[in-house]
Structure formats: C-alpha cells, structure tokens
A and B are shown apart, each in its own frame.
Chain A
Amino acid sequence: MNFSDILTMRHELMLTLLALVVLIIDLNLHNRDKHLIIPITLSLFFIDTLVGFLPADKSVLFGGMYRTNGLLVLMKNILNIGVLIILLQSVTWLKKEENREKISEYFILLFSTLIGMNFMISSGDFLMFYLGLELATIPVAALAAYTHHQTKSAEAGIKLLLTSALSSGILLFGISLIYGSTGSIYFDTITELYKNSPMQVLAFIFFFTGMAFKLSLVPFHLWTADVYEGAPINVTSYLSVISKGAAAFILIIVMFTVFNTIAPVYNHILYLIAIITMTVGNLFALRQKNMKRFLAFSSIAQAGFILLGILGGNVMGMTSVIYFVLVYIFSNLGAFGVVSAISTVTGKESMDDYDGLYATNPRLSLLMMLALFSLAGIPPVAGFFGKFFLFASAASAGYYWLVFIAVLNATISLYYYLLVVKAMFINKNETPLAYFKSDLATRVGLILSGIGIFILGFWSQIYEVINSLSFGIIH
C-alpha cells in the first residue's frame, strides 16, 4: 500500500482534517471572535465538496475492509452537497448569542457523523460497517441535545441515544449470527456462503431490524417524531435528510450485495414493511400541526417508498433509490430550509402560523410549495421523476398492487402537503408573519435546494450517470 492508495479515502481524510482544523481554530480564537469559525468552516467544506467530485478510481484498502468505486464516491458526494446546504441554512441560527460558545462543536460533531457515514458506505466488512455506524450515530445524539438548556432538546438527545444503542445492539447480534453461520465478516465471502438456513434468515432479520431503526421504518419509528421535534431545526433536517439518506444508501448496498441470495425471503418482509411504513407515516402526518413533527412523519412515509426500489432488486431499483434519495435531499432541504428560516427569525413552528404567508413572504411560500410538491411527487418538479422511477422499478419486478398502494399513499400525502399550501396561499390571517429578509447564507442554501428541485427531474444525465455506475455493483 502506498500513499496514492490512501488518497482514495480522500472523503474521509479530508473530513477528519477539517474537523481537526476547526478544533484548532476554535482553541486559538478569542471568545468574541468565535463567529469567524462559521465562514472559515463553510469555505473549507465547500472546497472539500468540490474535491470530492474529482474523478475516483476503484480500489480496495486494508485487505478488503475499505473499498471504493464510482458509485460509492457519488453517494458520498450527494451527502456532501446535502450537508453543505444544511450548513448554509444553519448560519443564522449559529450566529445567535446563545450558541456563540459552541459553534465549533456543531461543526465537529456534524463532520464526525459524516465521516462515520462515509466509512459505512465504503465498508467492505461488517467490522468497518459497525464502526462507521457508531461513529455516525453517537455524535448525532449530542447534536440533538445541542440546545441542552431546553428540556425538549435534552430529551431528544437521550431518546436518540437510547434507541440507537438498542438498535445497534440488535444489529450487532445479527452480525454475530452472520459471523457464526458463515465464519466470515467480509461481504464478499458472506455472499458466497449465504443460504436460506433458518439461522441465516434470523441473522438477516436482526440486522434488518437494526437498520430499520436508523431508517425509521414502521414499526421501528417511534423515536422519530419526538427526536425531530425536540432537536434544533437544523439538526432535525440533518437527521431526516442526511442520516436517512446515508442509511438508505447503505441498506441498498448491503441488500444487493451481501444478502442478495436470500432476496426471495426478504422480499416478503420488505413488501409488508413498505406498506405499513407508508400508510402509518402518512396517517400520522395528517394530524400534525407542528411543522417539525409534520415533516418527521412525512419522512417516515418517504422511507417506505425507498423500500419499493429495493424490492425492484435490479439495476433499475438501485438507480431509482439513489436518484430518489438525491431528489429527496433537495426537496426536504427546501422544506426544512423554509421552516428553519422562519423558525430562526420568528420562533414559530406551528402550521397555523403559516396562514397567509404568501401575502408577506411570497418567495419563501413559493419555494415551500415547490418543495412540498416535490415531496408529494407532482410534476414538473423533481419528486415526480424520483417517485416514478421507484414505482417503475417495483413494477418491473411485478409488484403492481404494491405500486398501486404506494401511489394511493402518495395521494394521501398530497392531502397533508396541500394543507400547508392551503395555509400559505388560501387561509386568511389578520396577523400573518411579518416580512423578513433572511441573510445571504440562508438564501444561498434555499436557492441551491430550489435549483435542485427544478433541475434534477429534467436533467436526465444525472439519472444516466447513476445508472451506469450502478452496473458495476450488481449484475
């Protein structure tokens, strides 16, 4: 192994470096200059995101523990872009007086989880996978409790920590069963040895349960709404977009490579869980009045849709999942961005506060509408294409009834997304939220997600690129 090999890990290395640099800068800054960290970190992370797009080779490091290829790099880049938008959106909030002392913590914790996710995506065996998982989870709990002087935020942190500890335990138990039955922790070896024996199916179920916690699939979703509501809004958007996106990426890689041989078994499980997740997520979202809880349940429902692509079980399925997650990142960040901008400036998070928003803040309302339409899957915004390809991949495997149920669910989801649209555009309000001008970073963040929502659908090259990269992974 030489130096250039190490460089194939550049996503992880750069992020580690970044986290360290932030720490050092923080140590050397006087207390009143702490806000300088924000622009410095943002520009460094922007460079990091750009560097991530440099062409990457396929390679395997540490005897198969770490592997990388075009598709994995693409996934990491997608996550990077998402994080960049979130960072932009959280600038105003970080600048607040109460957060001044812990600005660097926010960045360091965030980058640590991102490193963990990158390692998970690149893992070649279950050891690396588990390490990445822990690194990706524990700092998030700290982030959720970021505004720890608020009871809700502290509660969110504890809840997240406890549920992720439980789910990690279950997952680890699954991994140990896998090791016990195959004698290996390497993905490649396990694939060859994996059969339908009861113990292996059981091992898979434990493993999948652990992942289902991360993805907040029903019935493992109960932590989601409380944590989302309690955590600071930008952490919530990180949880619901980046964490979930990464979990979806990892799940699909593992399902398609390691557990490929027992697809006939897990398809039944996925089929049921997909239906329950979509339906329960949607039905609970109907009654939510708090925007954060609302988006939490809507994101549970969205996770159900992701399973449809996994059920497709072919290149099309893989492509559609990655594409969907990409679209989902932009759409959800659009929605969260607006909620965050409003919440930071006015402190209001209830749907009723959005009544008549269009009259005072037309641009925010329009972006919110587009983002919600994208989440609901309405053309011409990107969500339509994302959903369409997911449905197509499920239909390609013959799951027509599942597709029908899923589209009906999309219709239900349209109802509650329209409730927000109705609040903003139709409802009259004598005291609507006053007009405010958000600062540059927030606006750039919102514009980026807006562009993503519009362009991704029409720009078919993106889909083609993902598709061509997916061919390398599965056959």
Chain B
Amino acid sequence: MLTVGGILLTKDLKHSRLVSAIGMGVQLILSFVLVYLYLKERASGNTAAMLFTYDALWFPTLNIHYALGVDGISVAMIALTGIVVFAGIFASWKVTYLPREFFISLIILASGVFGFFISIDLFTMFLFYELAVIPMYLLIGIWGSGPKEYSAMKLTLMLMAGSALLLVGLLGIYFFSSPDPSHLTFNLMQISKIRIPVEMQRFLFPFTFIGFGILGALFPFHTWSPDGHASAPTAVSMLHAGVLMKLGGYGAFRVAIFLMPEAAHEQAWIFLILTSISVVYGAFSAIVQTDLKYINAYSSVSHCGLVLFAVLMMNQTAMNGAIVQMISHGLMTALFFALIGMIYGRTHTRLINEMGGLMKVIPFLGVVYVIAGLASLGLPGFSGFVAEMIIFVGSFQHTDVFHRVITIVAASSIVITAVYILRVVGILLMGPIKNDHFLHLDDAKWYEKISTITLVLAITAIGMAPFWLTNMIDYSLAPIVEKLLSIQITSLF
C-alpha cells in the first residue's frame, strides 16, 4: 500500500530538482489536497488506530523501522502544513536572491515537518525533527533580515540542544521498550502497549518533554523564537511559527505523555506552571513591542504555551482543544507573518509607530489584517475562539484548586491578547497617514491574494464548522486518553 509519506516525499524531491518555483508551489498543494481528501474518505470505515501504515525494516539488529502511518491528529496537522506551505510559497513569490536554493531549503524544511507528523517510529521521527531544524539556519542566515546571523545561530543551537535532551529521552524509552532485551523497539504504537518502569519514566519524562518543549517555546527556553521569527524571511516565519513550533506540542503529547503517563501525571504541575508563565508572559511581552514581527513572535510564544498547557491537562476535551489550537494558531500566525511581510515589502519598516492609516491605502491587506487579529483574540466565528473555548472548558473540568487557579491565570491571557491586537490595529491601520510615501502604495498582488485568502478561508472554515475537525481528532484521541485515565486510577490506589 502506498503511503502518505511516500507520496509526499517523492513529490517533494522531484520538484526541488525541477527547481521551477511556480511548478513546485502549484503541484505541492495539489498533492497535499489530494492526499488530504483521500484520507478523509478512508477514515470513515476503518477502525485501526493508524491508517495507511507503511513499515520497512531499516536496521534489523536495532529493530529500527521506517514506519509511517496517520491518525486523525496527524492528518489534521498535515492539512495544516499543506496549507501553510502553499501560502508560504506564494508569499515568497518575489525572492530574488538565489531563489533556487531558497525553495530547495524550504522544501527540505517542509519534508522534515511532514515526515515528523507521519512517523510512528521514534527513530524516523527524530530524524525528521532534525531535518526540519537545520535548513532554518540557512534560510534565516541567507535570506533573513536584521541581526540574521545571530538569530539563525541562536535558533539552531537552542533547537539542537533541545534535540540533545530529546535524544536521551528517546534512547531511554527504546531501551525500556520491552522487558526482553532482544525485542526492543522504536515503534510508537508497540511501546504504548507496555509500561515503562515508573522510576525510568521519572528520569526520562523531563528530558523528552523539555526537548519537545524547547521547540514549542516553553518558558524559559523560548528566547530563540522572537529573534528567529523576527529575522526570518516571510515564508520561513510563516512555516516556522505556523508549523514547526507545533512539532513541539505534537511530540510532547504523542511521545512524552502518551508513552510515559505516570511520570506525566506526577510532574505535570511543574510544567503547568511553566506553560502558564509562557502564556501570560508572552502576551505581556507582546504589548510592549514596537516591531510587528516581534509582536507576533511573542504572541506565538503565548499561544504555543497554551498548546502545551492544554496537553498537560490530560483530559479529552483539553487535549482536543490543544490540537485545534495548534491548527488554528498555525493558520493565524502564518497569516500574520504573511501580512507583515507584505506590509514590510511596501513600507520598508516594521515599526508600528512609523506607520498609520494603512487601511486607506491598502484596504485589502488592512481588512485581512483585522480578520487575523480578530481570530487571534478569539472572536467567535474564527478558529481561535473554538480552540481557546475547548481548552479552557477542558481545563476547568479538573476539580482541584491548583488546576482551577492555573486555568484562570492562563485564561487571563485572552484579555491581554485583545489589548495588543487592538492596539496594533489601531495604530497601524487607523488614524492619519504618517508618511507621504505611503500614499502611493499598491494593494495586494494576485499571488499575495492567493496566499492570504487560502489562510483566511481555512480560519473561518474551522471557526464556523469545527465539528468535522474535532470529531476526527476525538476519534484518535480516545485511545490515548483512555490510557491516561486508566493509569490515573491505578496510581490513586
């Protein structure tokens, strides 16, 4: 059976060789959409946990497989990636310096992300994780702006340090994946069926969770993110904030919590405190920034913190919310960064104080910016509302004081978010035009429209009809939560 991964990866490679940016963009999205629809149809009848599995033995002595497969959650993430990559390619239509290398790196990055989401073998997963990180260095370093070399190096090294933690965690899981030393495995689904000894879990869980957490901008390991996003070229910011940071959230729950539930229950409180700091601190930081990209980067820290926060709540509703939030934030942030890139391309500044009244000269971009802002602050009708709603409802299902207090703290970020979003919209789009040059700005070009409209459509679609998405996730989430709950009960006695 042909796999999703097979299709995606071969398509990618072929196109990067063809080097034609146009063909690449169009065909990429075609293959994603096709695969995506294909998946949707198939998911209706089959009850297996992982669909479209493909398994090839790679290193027999170590029992390393090249194992791929998808469930509702990864399908959702793949759809997100497909959309963001598509929009990202259109947003970077006008890359003039070394365009071929730019698109090749971008595609490698995207392949890493796709590969990560469809891996069910921890080795393959780790491989794709690192594969996704390293092109970032070149993308930011060569095509970035501002202190790009510093940011690129900081980002790469911090994420690699994260993968150092992760590697220890994964190797630990591997060597305790079976009581029989000759049947060790990296396969996620097989490991989930056994219990890793609790004392090992206590040791390995922080490694794994922080390892993924660094990518998910967990406080205090988030500092790579604002610098990285601010210096990156538009498409890379989109892809990075939109998708790559989700690798952290996805991995944290797929690997860390799913495989080591006992330790997750024991240590969740530490990380809940850290994540709620992320959420609130990120939002407050966003208020005081004056650079558009920094505002968004800190807002990403806040929103991604919310993802990890919800994952750690460890019940069905909150985890579902976490995944919806990943997708919703991925789309919103991508939209934001795309718009910022387009505005910057016209005004040549990203400082909000130097801009004003842009709504009058570039109404299309202005309106889309308002839409993105409203979605980000959680207005009903957009995806942000659905996600945050589910998360906080789920979190409040815990009856103890600690969880409730921390939920209230995290929920306060909604108000802070509204402050910085509305402030930016007010200064940037309304009011008098501060600079005469801005009077002659052109509105969005056709490729920019394609990029933004795709994202806006996706955001509103999820906002209006979230049920197909939540159902799909729920279905795949059920066995995971079941495992978590069963262990919670045993650990109580």
Picked from B156, B164, B167, the residue with its CB within 8 Å of the CB of A418 is B156
B130-174 at interface with A (beta carbon < 8 Å): 130-131, 134, 137-138, 141-142, 148-149, 153, 156-157, 160-161, 163-165, 167-168, 171-172, 174
Q: Which residue of B lies closest to A408 (CB)?
A: B164
Picked from B61, B131, B142, the residue with its CB within 8 Å of the CB of A463 is B61
Picked from B61, B138, B153, B168, the residue with its CB within 8 Å of the CB of A395 is B168
Answer yes or no: A426 CB below 8 A from chain B CBs: yes
Residues of B within 8 A of A378 (CB): 130, 134
Residues of A within 8 A of B167 (CB): 388, 391, 403, 407
Complex CA gap A418/B138 in Å reads 10
Answer yes or no: A297 CB below 8 A from chain B CBs: no
Answer yes or no: A432 CB below 8 A from chain B CBs: no
Residues of B within 8 A of A384 (CB): 127, 130
Report if A460-B60 is in contact (Cβ < 8 Å); known contacts: A378-B130, A380-B127, A426-B149. Answer: yes
B84-128 at interface with A (beta carbon < 8 Å): 123, 127-128
Q: Which residue of A lies closest to B162 (CB)?
A: A411
Q: Which residue of A lies closest to B207 (CB)?
A: A404
Report if A410-B61 is in contact (Cβ < 8 Å); known contacts: A384-B127, A403-B171. Answer: no
A396 touches B137 (CB 8 A): no
Answer yes or no: B364 CB below 8 A from chain A CBs: no
B203 touches A404 (CB 8 A): no
A403 touches B59 (CB 8 A): no
B168 touches A404 (CB 8 A): yes
A400 touches B61 (CB 8 A): no
Report if A407-B164 is in contact (Cβ < 8 Å); known contacts: A378-B134, A414-B157, A426-B142. Answer: yes
Residues of A within 8 A of B163 (CB): 407
Answer yes or no: A472 CB below 8 A from chain B CBs: no
Q: Which residue of B lies closest to A413 (CB)?
A: B160
Report if A404-B130 is in contact (Cβ < 8 Å); known contacts: A392-B171, A414-B156, A425-B142. Answer: no
Complex CA gap A391/B169 in Å reads 12
Q: Tell me how far the C-beta of A457 lies from the nearest C-beta in chain B, rounded to whole angstroms.
A: 9
Residues of A within 8 A of B123 (CB): 388
Q: Which residue of B lies closest to A377 (CB)?
A: B130
Picked from A389, A403, A463, the residue with its CB within 8 Å of the CB of B168 is A403
Answer yes or no: A422 CB below 8 A from chain B CBs: yes
Report if A410-B157 is in contact (Cβ < 8 Å); known contacts: A379-B131, A400-B171, A418-B137. Answer: no
Complex CA gap A125/B320 in Å reads 66
Q: Per-position contact with B for A364-379: 1 when CB-CB < 8 Å, else 0?
A: 0000000001000011
Answer yes or no: A266 CB below 8 A from chain B CBs: no
Q: Tell me how far the C-beta of B243 lies from the nearest C-beta in chain A, rounded to whole angstroms.
A: 18
Report if A414-B174 is in contact (Cβ < 8 Å); known contacts: A380-B131, A426-B149. Answer: no
B141 touches A392 (CB 8 A): no
Answer yes or no: B175 CB below 8 A from chain A CBs: yes
Q: Which residue of B lies closest to A467 (CB)?
A: B61
Residues of B within 8 A of A421 (CB): 137-138
Report if A392-B174 is in contact (Cβ < 8 Å); known contacts: A407-B168, A464-B59, A464-B61. Answer: yes
B23-67 at interface with A (beta carbon < 8 Å): 58-62, 64
Answer yes or no: A106 CB below 8 A from chain B CBs: no
Report if A400-B161 is in contact (Cβ < 8 Å); known contacts: A373-B134, A407-B167. Answer: no
Q: Per-position contact with B for A443-475: 1 when CB-CB < 8 Å, else 0?
A: 000000000000000001001100100000000
Picked from A414, A418, A422, A464, the residue with its CB within 8 Å of the CB of B60 is A464
A460 touches B58 (CB 8 A): yes
A400 touches B164 (CB 8 A): no
Picked from A379, A389, A391, A396, the residue with its CB within 8 Å of the CB of B130 is A379
Residues of A within 8 A of B160 (CB): 410-411, 414
Complex CA gap A209/B123 in Å reads 36
Complex CA gap A391/B172 in Å reads 11
Answer yes or no: A415 CB below 8 A from chain B CBs: yes
Q: Which residue of B lies closest to A401 (CB)?
A: B168
The total of Cβ contacts below 8 Å across the A-B interface reads: 83
Count residues of B near A (Cβ-Cβ below 8 Å).
Answer: 34
Residues of B within 8 A of A400 (CB): 168, 171-172, 203
Report if A425-B138 is in contact (Cβ < 8 Å); known contacts: A391-B171, A395-B172, A414-B157. Answer: yes
Q: Tell me how far the C-beta of B220 lies from the nearest C-beta in chain A, rounded to whole angstroms.
A: 17
Report if A425-B203 is in contact (Cβ < 8 Å); known contacts: A404-B164, A407-B163. Answer: no
B164 touches A410 (CB 8 A): yes
Residues of B within 8 A of A379 (CB): 127-128, 130-131, 134
Residues of B within 8 A of A395 (CB): 168, 171-172, 174-175
Complex CA gap A421/B161 in Å reads 19
A422 touches B59 (CB 8 A): no
Complex CA gap A408/B158 in Å reads 10
Complex CA gap A282/B167 in Å reads 20
Q: Per-position contact with B for A418-440: 1 when CB-CB < 8 Å, else 0?
A: 10011001100000000000000
Complex CA gap A415/B171 in Å reads 24
Residues of B within 8 A of A404 (CB): 164-165, 168, 207
Complex CA gap A403/B64 in Å reads 19
Complex CA gap A414/B130 in Å reads 12
Q: Which residue of B lies closest to A406 (CB)?
A: B164
Complex CA gap A380/B66 in Å reads 14
Residues of A within 8 A of B171 (CB): 391-392, 395, 400, 403
Residues of A within 8 A of B164 (CB): 404, 407-408, 410-411
B130 touches A415 (CB 8 A): no
Q: Which residue of A lies closest to B129 (CB)?
A: A379
Residues of A within 8 A of B156 (CB): 414, 418
Complex CA gap A467/B123 in Å reads 19
A422 touches B149 (CB 8 A): yes
Q: Which residue of A lies closest to B61 (CB)?
A: A467
Residues of A within 8 A of B161 (CB): 408, 411
B127 touches A460 (CB 8 A): no
Complex CA gap A404/B149 in Å reads 27
Residues of B within 8 A of A388 (CB): 123, 167
Complex CA gap A316/B62 in Å reads 9
Residues of B within 8 A of A407 (CB): 163-165, 167-168
Q: Which residue of A lies closest to B141 (CB)?
A: A426
Instruction: State the 4 A-B residue pairs at the shortest beta-carbon distance, nearest first.
Output: A407-B164, A395-B171, A411-B160, A426-B141
Could you tell me which B residues sit within 8 Å of A by CB distance?
58-62, 64, 123, 127-128, 130-131, 134, 137-138, 141-142, 148-149, 153, 156-157, 160-161, 163-165, 167-168, 171-172, 174-175, 203, 207
8 more A-B contacts (CB under 8 A) besides A391-B167, A421-B138, A467-B61? A316-B62, A373-B134, A378-B134, A379-B128, A414-B157, A415-B153, A426-B141, A463-B61
11 residue pairs of the A-B complex, CB under 8 angstroms, read: A379-B127, A379-B130, A379-B134, A388-B167, A391-B171, A403-B168, A407-B167, A410-B160, A411-B160, A418-B156, A421-B137
